[in-house]
Amino acid sequence: MELWLSIAGFLIFLVGLMISIGLHEIGHLVPAKRFGVRVPQYMIGFGPTMWSRRKGETEYGIKWIPMGGYIRMIGMLPPRPSDDPSKLRETSTGMFQGLVDNARDAALEEIRPGDEHRVFYRKPWWQKVIIMAGGPAMNFVLAFVLFAVLLMGFGVRVSQPVVDFVTECAKSEAAFKQDSKCGPGDKPSPAAAAQLRPGDRIVAVDGKRVADWEAASRAIRSSGGGPATIGIERAGRPLTVTANLIPQDRESLDEPGKIDKGVGFLGVSPVITMERQSIGAVGVYMGNLTTATAGALLRLPEKMVGVWEAAFSGEKRDPNGPIGIVGAGRIGGEIAASEAPVLDKIAFFVQLLAGFNLAIGVFNLLPLLPMDGGHVAGALWEGVKRGFARLTRRPTPGYVDIAKLLPLTYGVAAVMVVMAVLLVYADVVNPVRLAG
């Protein structure tokens, strides 16, 4: 039964991801058609075609390898400025120049008589920006909708400044995770020694008021070791107790996985409640997560080194590091097979898909080909050049020739393929797990 649940969880995530990819491509397709670009194909997946149907001038289909999708627009690359149908075309035997020439020829072969004004490269720069930014924009919209469902519908776990559990002994964080029971040689925790009880509300630390659990936790940590006064409310009555805090090495509140040295340890766990958030809180949450995702993307080379070491040296996978589709699917299967309540499982899948949509949106905005951001950057540069020419009364410059960047594009694509293969391998031999 557990195996079938794991398979079902993997398939649920995969279907959700393919729907997200399909909507990403619709984000390109709709403005492309709206601006008159001919789109011969709309495909979800890669490889051999599983199913397709033609509607109008566009073939819609699904391919066997569920690792992405694409729409094919005619005239993505402009012809060489020197191309003249009445003259022999100049060619080059250079490897990179040959690749560029072949790519141009392939792009021009799809242009039929009457398509001269339906090619992508002839469209105004702002239309190119809208077409190419439409895919990532769709991912951001999907992420916002899914995060709204999660935060406004299910709610989020909020740690209250109320004591739920008092740790009886002063164990280190690692030792407590291995065995939460206290031994005869273990000393009482500062909270136990100060006789804190479940239900006590922490309202102040060292005379400073705290409004929530995060503020209380940070104040306790910043105190380090030594005596600290803890203001509490017990059964509606204000009390002040003195706790002799112990300095410990504990996981950072700001950077999961990092250890903060010698922070103050009290020994209490907070009451956790589910609270539904407002639409404004969804925007703030997604904004913070987008910033964090962009920062993680800048550290991707460093993180991929960790993935390599985990794959080939047996190092533990960083739970906050990169993860591929296979790894995310495995986590989905692990959740489906867990004993968590059904609503918690649904909430997790919503969060997983929302996070992937956000990551896809941010990644695709990188100003490098073949990502959408590379085309957006080229269109914006074309707009700058033409705007400058208009201001200085100079002749209108030609279209920005992104074909010249194809050697770099092939290099980036090769790196992406290597990263994808490495992630798949690491997700199989040393996957990220929710527990342990």
- How confident is the model over 320-326, as a mean pLDDT? 78
Q: Contact 74/63 with Cβ under 8 angstroms?
A: no
- Judged against a pLDDT cut of 50, whether residue 252 lies above it is answered with yes
Query: What's 156-275's CATH class?
Result: mainly beta
| pLDDT given at position 413 | 80
How far apart CA 155 and CA 343 sit, in angstroms, is 11
| pLDDT given at position 436 | 45
Is the bond leading into 247 cis (omega within 30 degrees of zero)? no
| pLDDT given at position 99 | 55
- How confident is the model over 347-353, as a mean pLDDT? 88
- Which tens digits make up the pLDDT trace of 142-194? 999 999 999 999 898 888 999 998 888 876 666 666 666 777 777 888 888 88
Residue with tokens 């990644």: 363
- How confident is the model over 186-215, as a mean pLDDT? 89
The residues annotated as belonging to the active site are 25
More confident residue, 351 or 224: 351
- How confident is the model over 424-435, as a mean pLDDT? 78
Q: How confident is the model at residue 391 (pLDDT cuts 50, 70, 90)?
A: very high
| pLDDT given at position 302 | 83
| pLDDT given at position 90 | 47
As given in the structure block, the two tokens for residue 302 are 């460093």
**Which positions ≥6 away from 328 have C-beta within 8 Å?**
13, 17, 352, 356
- How confident is the model over 353-371, as a mean pLDDT? 89
Q: How confident is the model at residue 408 (pLDDT cuts 50, 70, 90)?
A: confident
Q: How confident is the model at residue 279 (pLDDT cuts 50, 70, 90)?
A: very high
- Which tens digits make up the pLDDT trace of 130-142? 999 999 999 999 9
| pLDDT given at position 89 | 43
> From the CB of residue 352, how many other CB atoms can be counted at a distance below 10 Å?
20
- Measured over the CA atoms of residue 32, residue 34, residue 38 and residue 41, the dihedral's sign is positive
How far apart CA 102 and CA 93 sit, in angstroms, is 12
- Judged against a pLDDT cut of 70, whether residue 91 lies above it is answered with no
- Which tens digits make up the pLDDT trace of 364-379? 998 888 889 989 999 9
Q: Which of 65, 68, 9 is nearest to 327 (CA)?
A: 9
- How confident is the model over 115-123, as a mean pLDDT? 87
Domain boundary assignment for the chain = 40-72, 156-275
How far apart CA 297 and CA 88 sit, in angstroms, is 46
| pLDDT given at position 178 | 66
| pLDDT given at position 87 | 40
Q: How confident is the model at residue 28 (pLDDT cuts 50, 70, 90)?
A: very high
- Judged against a pLDDT cut of 80, whether residue 129 lies above it is answered with yes
HEC-encoded secondary structure of the chain: CHHHHHHHHHHHHHHHHHHHHHHHHHHHHHHHHHCCCCCCEEEEEEEEEEEEEEECCEEEEEEEEEEEEEEECCCCCCCCCCCCCCCCCCCCCCHHHHHHHHHHHHHHHCCCCCCCCCCHHHCCHHHHHHHHHHHHHHHHHHHHHHHHHHHHHHCEEEEEEEEEEECCECCCHHHHHHCCCCCCCCCECHHHHCCCCCCCEEEEECCEECCCHHHHHHHHHHCCCEEEEEEEEECCEEEEEEEEEEEEEEECCCCCCCEEEEEEECCEEEEEEEECCCHHHHHHHHHHHHHHHHHHHHCHHHHHHHHHHHHHHCCCCCCCCCCCHHHHHHHHHHHHHCCCCHHHHHHHHHHHHHHHHHHHHHHHCCCCCCCHHHHHHHHHHHHHHHHHHHHCCCCCCCCCCHHHHHHHHHHHHHHHHHHHHHHHHHHHHCCCCCCC
Q: Which of 270, 288, 133 is nearest to 212 (CA)?
A: 270
Global pTM exceeds 0.85: no
- Mean pLDDT, the chain, whole residue set: 84
Q: How confident is the model at residue 95 (pLDDT cuts 50, 70, 90)?
A: very low
